[in-house]
Structure formats: structure tokens, C-alpha cells
Amino acid sequence: MTNDPVTPVDPPGHPKVPRARFSKIAIAYGVFALLMTGWYVVDGMAGRDFIASDSSDHDDLPASVRASPGGYRSFAFWHSGYEGGK
Amino acid sequence: MKAACPQCGADVEFRFDDTFVRVCDHCRAACVRGDRGLETLGAFADLAETQSPLALFAIGSWKGAPFQLVGRAQLAHEAGGRWDEWYARFDDGRWGWLAEAQGRFYMMFEVEHSAAVAARARVGDELEIPSAGRMTVSEVGRATYVAAAGEIPFRLGPGTKYDYADLSGPDGRFATIDYSDSVPAIYAGWGAALLDLGISGGDAGPPRSPDIRATRLACPNCAGSLELRAPDATQRIGCPYCGALVDTSSGPLSVVAKQERESLTIPLGTKAHFEDTILVVIGWMRRKAIIDGTGYPFEEYLLYEPSLGFRWLVESDGNWSYVKPVDAGLVTEEVAHAVYDGVRFKQFQTSPLTVDRVLGEMYWKVEIDETTAGTDYVAPPAMLSKEASDNEVNWSLGTYVSASELERALEGTTVRSFATAAAPNAPPLMRGIYPTLAAAAACVLLGMCVVRSSASGDDVTTLTCTQPVCFSEPFQLESGANVAVELHGNVTNAWISVGGDLVNDATGAVESFDRDVEYYSGVDGGESWSEGSHDETVFLPPVDDGRYVLRVELQSSTPTYEIDAKVVQGRFHAKPWYYLCGLVLIPGALLAAIAGWRERSRWKQVSDDE
């Protein structure tokens, strides 16, 4: 009992009610929601799908194929089993 | 004015013209001045040593008005305990009554009133006090003036008794009704912190060493050494060696009850760090909440710091709360709720509370089986508790303390860390999940609006195809926006399978896709039905700037067919937003459902108990 007189943290008889803070789970969920939404917005603004939803395949036609007579516009090209070159 | 004390002959000096009584510094006689000189009203007892930071003839300031403390009286409560009344003489001629109890101060002034206002009040009554407003009676009782010093502004004799009612109101207002005269007097004012009083100077009085603040007594039952850490306030002490409950309020110590010995989780004398200071555990009490005839025990540790007063640490089912007193007038009770400090508390439990065991010091004449009516209201992590008896109503505010927080506050004392039941004021594991979920939903909606507003949806070209393979004319696409191919097939009860290729004329980069356009309809049992759609949209990722050709290859279930393919750049795609909703909102909804289930379980526990 050797304290100097202290000034109470709260006014006497009128302590402040502690307000409930957000739980770690709520904070983590909020951060997750914010990140996901941010990801969605960034992708959406860039024209990309947030999660690939429509399937499409990417391929490349070599210039030699495009420049050949008939080129890729011919029926034979698309149905002859193109394998990457002439 | 100076004169000789009628009792001992020592010099007695009245420093002020408007005081009635001067207490002789030598013999404590109450000297009253009259027409024929000084008379004595009898001798007061010596002032009991307290840890008061105030001193006789100290100067101070209240709301800018300077005053001096010219007199002091000590009053005994009928339930035990003393409090101080200081008489403040203001420079503007007013008299203030400064009450001091358990580290709390109340500055009051006499107010004019009609007799009806001060009619006998009962605990819980609400009265309209002049200049103070509506106030609640928190205590009624009888006080006895037992000691005094300095100059007193009214005719005060030793042993004078009076009935009183204490009231408290909003904004820290406080009032006392004094029923000693036929017309009761009302004193109204405010609760105050020591800092608000601006106290300085004054008579130093006898030196007080911190080392002698504790006193030792011998237990009258077992002769064990009893340490009094709050000697000026202790009324009862439970002997930690033999369990005897000893009365220390007056005269020789006497045993008022015998109890079994107890082993405490927190030993008496333990230091506890709360409110930026160090309190000492000076007492322990086990009480029972009586519900349907069954007693549910909980333990309360009494903490003390002279300038702060008393606090409690309450343990129930392994859950701990740190408890501070609350002025009754600051609480508004409603049906099943109470409002305090702007927070609405929900009623949790109402039950009689009975004292079962006491160890260490208590500041009132506690008795075994002493019973009060208790009501708890919760707003986690806070709990507002009301305890009412015939003469008194006390409110307190408890704050949930985790076992680890408590162990830190107790400098490593190990406490029970596994709760056997959910605490009514324990912060919910997922507190804040509801507003977070609402914010997340708003965020997701806002995200959709942003993305949608950025989608320009420019038509680029259209290709109509009625042959197995068609090519569009070359068209220009820009980077940074998706490409949508909108397919419209004029089919009925048929399908068209579309193989599409978006070919960059310059680089040969190809984006390929497949999609079926099919539509079926008919009548079955008198009911018409349809299935599929004439329209399909394929979304392709952004492509590089350049000129492109769309190649479309068709197969169909019918010999003739037609497909319109429109290329649009920067069209809003809803499906990713649906995925976002699912990804964000479904987990949030699950967490909210779990939080709701846990909260219902907590309240169900109460209803089961009751």
C-alpha cells in the first residue's frame, strides 16, 4: 500500500462502459472480403474475369501458316490436324 | 475570536465569524459560542486515521470558486464504516459540504425547497430536487457524528444522529436529504475527482508513513495474526487460519461466526494492476445465487487502493470480471433492459444473492447468510449489476477479464483458466461479425457497380453465318477490355454447335471457344414447355491491340441453320460477380449463423438455469 494518490481513470462512480471490439475472426473475415472484392474490381476494370468462368483456349498460328496460300481461312487448315507448322 | 476551552482551558480560536462550533484541538470538546461566551456540547472522539488526501484548512477551488476546508466531521454508518464530511467555506460566502467516502468525493450545497420535496423517501424513489433535477434514492439510513475537528458551520454535538437519504442523478449529480430537523434540509451537488477540487496546503497533521498503513490484530478465536490493510475501513475480517468471522468495528474484537477454512485462488495480499495503479486483494467472499432453491456459487475478491477506494474481482464458473461501483442515478432501468453510459444492457438474470463464506477484510458488517436481491444486465464485455436491500441499492459495472489478462494483472498468480460455462459477459468469439458481414455485402455491391460502370460495351462487328465455316471481315480490338461474342441462333427444337476462333491477323494469336445454341419447346399433357435459349454469350479475356478476324464453324441437328455472331468489347460479365458473392458472402453468412447459434446457447443456459 505504498501508492501515491492516483487520479482515477474514470470519474468516480461513472466508469466508462468498455465497448466490444471486433473479434479476430470478424477482422480476418473483413480483410478477406476486402481483398477478394479488390481483386474482383482490379480484374473487372482490366477486363479479366475474377475467376475464369468461360473456357477458352489460347493458341498461336505461326506466320508461315497465316501467310501460306489459303492460310488459316481454308477449311483444310482447320480440319487437317494443324500441328504447328507446314 | 480566541477564548479558553470550557473543558480543558486550552486556547480555542474561531477564525471565521460564521461558524458555530470549534472543536478544541486538545480535548476534542465541541465548543459553541453563545451570548455568555463558550459552552461545550461534549467531547468528540479522536478522528479515525484515514488515507484522506484532504487536510484541515487546505485551500481548493470548485468550478473556479476558491474555498477553504475549515471543519471536518466523521460519521458512522449504521451498517458499519465511516465517512468524512468536510466543511468548505467559499470566498463568496457560501458553505459547501464535501463528503468523502471510499476515495470518492461529493461537493454539495444546501438548496431551498418546499417541504413536500423532502418527504420521507424510500430506496428507488425518484424525486425532483430543486436545482438538481430528477434523482433516484440510492440509500436511506441513519448516521452518527462520532468525531470532528476544526470549525463547524452549524450546531454540532458529539453523538448527534440523523436520518438521511442519498440520491444520485444523471451527469454525476448527487444529493442528500437530512431529516434531523422538522423541515428536512437538502444538499445537492456533484460527484468529484480529487483533481476537480484543486486541493493544496492545509494542516499536515500527524505524519503518516506508508509503512504503518497496515495494522495487525490477533484473531480472538485462534490468536492467528490478522493483517488489516484497510484499517480505517474494515468492519469485519474473516480469519484465514481458523475461518472465524471477526467484528472489528468497535471495542474488543469479537467472533460473530465460525466458518470452515478456505483455500483461495488469489491469496490475500496479492497485488493487482488495474486502472494504472496497484490495488491489493484484502478480502474474499463466496456468495450463492439462489435459483429454484439451488445455490450457484461465485467468488468475489475485494481490492483496495486508498485513493481509489474499493473494487472487486468476481469469478463465476472460471470466468472473471473486474468490477467498479456506479452511481445509481446514472442508470435507467427499463423493461428487461438497463441503460448506462449510452449503452443498452439486456437483463440476464435476477436472483437472491446470499453470503456463504468470508475471508479477509470487508468494509461493512457482513454477515453469513446476508441476502440481497441481485439483477445482472449484460452488454459484453460489460455487465451491469444491481444489488438491492431495504436500505440501499448499489450498481456496479463489471468488465470481462480473460485468465491471461488476469494473470498479467496479478503478477503471475495462476488462476483457473478453463471456464466451465460461458460467461454472460464474455465477449462473443465472433463479435462484430454481423456488421462486418453487412459491410462486406455493401463492399461486394459497390465493387459490382464500379466494374459495371467501367464496362463500355462497344459493338465491334457482326457476322451472320449460314454455312459450316464463316469468317468475319477484319476488325479492330483494343487491349484492356474483355471481348464478348454474342451468339443468336434462330433454332427451334434443334441445336447448333458453334466453334469460334478469334484470330489476331498480325500475330496469329488465337482465342478459341465452343458453345451450343439450342432451343426446344413443345406441349406435354396440355402444358407448354421450353428449354434452352436462342442466345448465348461467350466472354473472352482481353486481347492485345490489333486487327482480328472471327472464324465461326457450325454443326447443327438440322440441314439449314443460321447464327448471328456479334463481337462486343468491354461488356459487363455478371458471372464473376456471382462467384465473388459466393466466395465472400457464404462464409460470412456461415460465421454469422454460428455466432447466432452461440449467442442463443448462452441465453438458453440462463433460461435452463431458471
Residues of B in contact with A41 (CB under 8 A): 447, 450-451
Contact B503/A50, CB-based, under 8 Å?
A: no
Tell me if B111 is assigned to some domain.
Answer: yes
Residues of B in contact with A17 (CB under 8 A): 340-343, 379, 382, 397
Asked if residue B218 and residue B191 are part of one domain, the reply reads: no
Give pLDDT, residue B442. 97
Give pLDDT, residue B208. 47
Tell me if B603 is assigned to some domain.
Answer: no
Asked if residue B184 and residue B228 are part of one domain, the reply reads: no
Min mean pLDDT across B214-223, B471-480, B488-497 is at B214-223
Interface test with A, best of B51, B216, B503 (most A CBs within 10 A): B503
Distance in Å, alpha carbon of B309 to nearest chain A alpha carbon = 10
Tell me if B439 is assigned to some domain.
Answer: no
Residues of B in contact with A30 (CB under 8 A): 436, 439-440
Tell me if B203 is assigned to some domain.
Answer: no
Instruction: Check whether A76 has a pLDDT greater than 70.
Output: no
For residue B386, CA distances in Å to B136, B331, B365, B498, B606 come to 14, 10, 20, 76, 17
Tell me if B253 is assigned to some domain.
Answer: yes
Range of the domain at B20: 2-197
Tell me if B442 is assigned to some domain.
Answer: no
CATH classification of the domain holding B553: 2.60.120.1300
Contact B399/A18, CB-based, under 8 Å?
A: yes
Asked if residue B115 and residue B45 are part of one domain, the reply reads: yes
Looking at the structure of chain B, the number of domains it has is 3
Which cell is B403 given?
485468465
Which residues sit opposite B548 in a β-bridge?
B475, B504
In 3-state terms, what secondary structure has residue A42? helix
- pTM confidence score: 0.70
Q: Would you say B512 and B503 are in contact if contact means Cβ atoms under 8 Å apart?
A: no
Distance in Å, alpha carbon of A6 to nearest chain B alpha carbon = 6
Domain termination residue (choose one: B129, B163, B197): B197
Contact A60/B508, CB-based, under 8 Å?
A: yes
Asked if residue B220 and residue B133 are part of one domain, the reply reads: no
Tell me if B327 is assigned to some domain.
Answer: yes
Give pLDDT, residue A86. 44
Asked if residue B463 and residue B368 are part of one domain, the reply reads: no
In 3-state terms, what secondary structure has residue A59? strand
Compute the distance between CA of residue B117 and CA of residue B105 in angstroms, rounded to an integer.
25
| Residue bearing the bigger pLDDT, B582 or A19 | B582
Which residues sit opposite B401 in a β-bridge?
B320
Give pLDDT, residue A2. 41
Which residue from B172, B194, B503 is facing A7, i.e. has the nearest CB? B194
Asked if residue B350 and residue B241 are part of one domain, the reply reads: yes
Residues of B in contact with A43 (CB under 8 A): 576
Cis ω for the linkage preceding B184 (within 30 of 0): no
Give pLDDT, residue B234. 86
B490: left (phi over 0), alpha (psi -120 to 50) or beta: beta
Contact A18/B193, CB-based, under 8 Å?
A: no
Contact B443/A37, CB-based, under 8 Å?
A: yes
| Residue in B with minimal Cα distance to A57 | B512
Q: Is B438 on the interface with A (CB under 8 A)?
A: no
Give pLDDT, residue B212. 42
Residues of B in contact with A27 (CB under 8 A): 432, 436
- In this structure, how many other beta carbons lie within 10 angstroms of the beta carbon of residue B379? 22
Asked if residue B240 and residue B133 are part of one domain, the reply reads: no
Residues of A in contact with B401 (CB under 8 A): none
Confidence of residue A3 (pLDDT cuts 50, 70, 90): very low
Compute the distance between CA of residue A69 and CA of residue A61 in angstroms, rounded to an integer.
14
Asked if residue B10 and residue B122 are part of one domain, the reply reads: yes
Asked if residue B221 and residue B188 are part of one domain, the reply reads: no
Contact A13/B172, CB-based, under 8 Å?
A: yes
Which residue from B427, B437, B584 is facing A36, i.e. has the nearest CB? B584
Interface test with A, best of B168, B173, B308 (most A CBs within 10 A): B308
B103: left (phi over 0), alpha (psi -120 to 50) or beta: left
Instruction: Check whether A81 has a pLDDT greater than 70.
Output: no
Asked if residue B189 and residue B245 are part of one domain, the reply reads: no
Distance in Å, alpha carbon of A81 to nearest chain B alpha carbon = 15
Which cell is B355 given?
453470503
Q: What is the mean pLDDT of residues B22-36?
A: 88
Domain termination residue (choose one: B349, B376, B409): B409
Asked if residue B471 and residue B377 are part of one domain, the reply reads: no
Compute the distance between CA of residue B248 and CA of residue B238 in angstroms, rounded to an integer.
10
Asked if residue B190 and residue B222 are part of one domain, the reply reads: no
Q: What is the ipTM, given to two decimal places?
A: 0.71
Compute the distance between CA of residue B321 and CA of residue B310 in angstroms, rounded to an integer.
14
Which cell is B593 given?
449463423
Tell me if B207 is assigned to some domain.
Answer: no
As a whole number, the mean pLDDT across chain A is: 73
